[in-house]
Structure 1
């Protein structure tokens, strides 16, 4: 019986936070486990205080001892300058646009990533836009960067009494827009709140899912100061309740000033809901004609689009016709196959 080649997978970003990189890692792990192409070994790190510092130390010095000369594939940008047989994944370079928001990441990407890139066989980018950012900030050959798009998280709503009651409590049977993942400054929620203030007495609510972190608390205070009684902040909702909120929303608002890919518009599409998104390159790349675009730097433009959507909801159907093709393009099965192909080509 032919012995399968051993491939290590760096899972050091899976620490229970369930951020985008952790979800990405777990989704691709599921795809890899469904195949028998490699002898896959998944490497985890323990949760500890000062996790970011420990993760850096583990990747640099402990992981090389564990993998030796075998190939290690990282689902994140974490790797080691002491491993020559590795592939890393860069999701975005947002830290260069918002260094104050991501101070630790800024120094990591500025001083450590160039060294790790040099010792990597390939660098995976999750979008063409992210690839263009990598080529912009680092001295790296074009063909060393491989684009493998994320999969879309296809949501579904399983009706149950508890979530129905919670939905009614949140929505109050009033039409609403939804915004998800509004926990960091690049999500541009300040301009969204300014736009809502310009709408005056429009009979609609705005549900914003935002952590109670420093930025989330700042947004709550800003909404209070603007007198926005129709803005409802949620710290956390279950995936099932989130599916219901997407499903019943007039529209999903996702006007980030920077993204590496962007999950929420595809999640909304899986619940047949159209998104209002920023007119930025990555949104055009991922969503094509299946979203409404807006100049997210202008509260006036945002307000105008929101009002137009609210008054002409029947026109949203024209954007939904391409949802099936959109969601079939971005699947975790496709992403998994592309990862496998890259590993096979690298090994060979």
Structure 2
């Protein structure tokens, strides 16, 4: 059987959750298939082959269309914050991202279906990369936020609300959590038998406790003075950075600690003393940031899976997360849960962690928190993700779920 993976969602910079999933999954899939000498022929379609070092060159199909080189480009943001040069850069970056987004949609809907004819199966690695005119298709769904929170900003509104439901009703679906499967069944009256669950993974080779010397060098480079709480994510309202900032203002009344935000946080967030915005931090440096944090806070309103808390656990960082979406399913008993609607609750639970560290100095309680985190993170690996996918793929290849 010959498979085509649609991986054009991956950007040059590769800093999003989609990027993390696709890059890790595809590389592990290739490594496993080659090492086990499985009788599976596959091709990867992507703008940026450099993200897939485990894939042989003959299995990489680089997509080249008009403007492809600027699609999702990764030019570094100037250090200036309020200059005309910076404003022009932001406008050009926005235009590039706009072009990138719609080039991906256009290619997937109108070019990929012709290429797909020579394959027995295509795999859309995100829900935004599924094609209406491909029948033998498997779609990996990562979240249902546009349907749960229709007032939140949504890209590709026509595709999301008009085409995606039609696509999901005619193909095999994989979700990254059980709660996501339940949501899809309820939203679209889908047959549960057509939906399988495959968890994401944590790369233990990257995410592990960093030595103190590396932490100190990292803090010096990014000008982080003293202890800090960490939040990671992008500017989508679902990430609830406003709740984090409100909770931090309450925390600062009791602890002179910093709040470090890594990722593309909303520039409209109110700034206060102790807040540090780092912007994009590469994955190969992120483990240092997790390792140095006194607490990782992730009070999002909804997650389809929620990988950052597991990454933090793998680095030995205590985790405070939302009690909604997939997070209780994924984090188990290794996290402290909060109501994301209540900043005072977020602050209260973070303060409990800080009190264990700084006031009570209770090594036993702290070590138990860290141990639970390590154990939980080890339950999720990319090798297991690939093995679970291949098990589903085996059933799919026998036409068990194909609609006639």
Fold-level match, TM-score > 0.5? yes
Match of 1:131 in 2: 181
Match of 2:92 in 1: none
Match of 2:41 in 1: 39
Unaligned runs of 5+ in 2: 47-62, 72-95, 399-404
How far apart are the structure 2 equivalents of 1:123 and 1:277? 27
Q: Does the residue aligned with 1:104 lie in a helix, a strand or coil?
A: coil
Match of 1:96 among 122, 138, 147: 147
How far apart are the structure 1 equivalents of 2:225 and 2:324? 33
Residue 243 of structure 2 is aligned to residue 185 of structure 1: no
Moved more, 162-171 or 266-275: 162-171
Match of 2:18 in 1: 21
Match of 1:310 in 2: 354
Match of 1:113 among 164, 168, 179: 164
The CA deviation at 1:342 is 1.5
How far apart are the structure 1 equivalents of 2:116 and 2:224? 55
Moved more, 95-104 or 138-147: 95-104
Q: Deviations over 1:283-325 (max 9, x none)?
A: 1100110011111211111121122221112333222223343
The CA deviation at 1:163 is 6.9
Residue 167 of structure 2 is aligned to residue 165 of structure 1: no
Residue 195 of structure 2 is aligned to residue 151 of structure 1: no
Q: Does the residue aligned with 2:22 lie in a helix, a strand or coil?
A: helix
Q: Deviations over 1:81-115 (max 9, x none)?
A: 22111101110011123434433344322111122
Cα pair distance change 1:12/1:236, threshold 3 Å: closer
The CA deviation at 1:134 is 1.1
Match of 1:75 in 2: 125
Moved more, 320-329 or 28-37: 320-329
The CA deviation at 1:79 is 1.8
Q: Does the residue aligned with 1:287 lie in a helix, a strand or coil?
A: helix
Cα pair distance change 1:59/1:24, threshold 3 Å: same
Residue 338 of structure 2 is aligned to residue 294 of structure 1: yes
Match of 1:58 in 2: 107
Q: Deviations over 1:255-277 (max 9, x none)?
A: 11111111111111111111000
Q: Does the residue aligned with 1:23 lie in a helix, a strand or coil?
A: helix
Q: TM-score, normalised by structure 2?
A: 0.77
How far apart are the structure 2 equivalents of 1:103 and 1:130? 18
Match of 2:53 in 1: none
Residue 297 of structure 2 is aligned to residue 277 of structure 1: no
Residue 290 of structure 2 is aligned to residue 252 of structure 1: no
Q: Deviations over 1:58-101 (max 9, x none)?
A: 22221121121521112111222221111011100111234344
Matched residue count: 334
The CA deviation at 1:137 is 1.7
Cα pair distance change 1:185/1:281, threshold 3 Å: closer
How far apart are the structure 2 equivalents of 1:53 and 1:243? 33
Q: Does the residue aligned with 1:289 lie in a helix, a strand or coil?
A: helix
Residue 204 of structure 2 is aligned to residue 202 of structure 1: no
Quote the RMSD (CA, aligned, Å). Answer: 2.2
Q: Does the residue aligned with 1:130 lie in a helix, a strand or coil?
A: helix
Q: TM-score, normalised by structure 1?
A: 0.89
Cα pair distance change 1:218/1:98, threshold 3 Å: farther
Unaligned runs of 5+ in 1: none
The CA deviation at 1:165 is 3.2
The CA deviation at 1:169 is 5.1
Task: Tell me if the contact between 1:186 and 1:256 (Cα under 8 Å) persists in the aligned partners.
Answer: yes
Match of 1:85 among 97, 120, 136: 136
How far apart are the structure 2 equivalents of 1:22 and 1:239? 11
Q: Does the residue aligned with 1:12 lie in a helix, a strand or coil?
A: coil
How far apart are the structure 1 equivalents of 2:294 and 2:223? 12
Moved more, 72-81 or 198-207: 198-207
Task: Tell me if the contact between 1:178 and 1:206 (Cα under 8 Å) persists in the aligned partners.
Answer: yes
Q: Does the residue aligned with 1:217 lie in a helix, a strand or coil?
A: coil
Match of 2:8 among 6, 12, 20: 12
